[in-house]
Amino acid sequence: MDNRRSNKIIELTFQFSLDIIQIVEKLESNRKYVIANQLLKSGTSIGANVRESQNAESKSDFIHKLKIALKETDETLYWLELVNAAYKNIDSTKLIEDLKIIDKVLSKIVSTIKNKQKESLSN
């Protein structure tokens, strides 16, 4: 089953991973292997954790997977900002913008679920 098309955050993070792969290929062609490897790991981990959250065993597990994805967005932001600062011939500005959108969506999902859990406990 192809979940990417039926779920916006899965779709966003899958496309982001594809874009990360492209920028990593540029870094590797410039022999910037260490940064390329770090960026590939953190950047594709976001989507992997979001995808994994779809098979969570509980709401707590779901939130946990999304929180890991949020941590990966922060790390990926660091590497993308480093790329922008260090390599003028590689522009990661669009990826940074896309990542900020992903971060907002993930944060909203987590906060919404947490609020619903609090409401159900108070009822």
- Per-residue pLDDT of 9-66, as tens digits, reads 999 999 999 999 999 999 999 999 999 999 999 999 999 999 999 999 999 999 999 9
Q: Specify the pLDDT at position 30.
A: 94
Angle subtended at Cα 91 by Cα 22 and Cα 17, rounded to the nearest 5 degrees: 30
SS3 1: coil
CB within 8 A of 31, min separation 6: which ones?
none
- In the structure, how many helices (H) and strands (E) does the chain have? 4, 0
**Helix 8-29 vs helix 33-53: crossing angle, to nearest 10:** 170
pTM given for the model: 0.89
Q: Specify the pLDDT at position 25.
A: 97
| Measured distance CA(123)–CA(110) in Å, rounded | 20
Q: Specify the pLDDT at position 114.
A: 87
Q: Specify the pLDDT at position 123.
A: 64
**Structural tokens at position 24:** 């990593």
Task: Give the type of residue at 95.
Answer: L
| Measured distance CA(18)–CA(6) in Å, rounded | 18
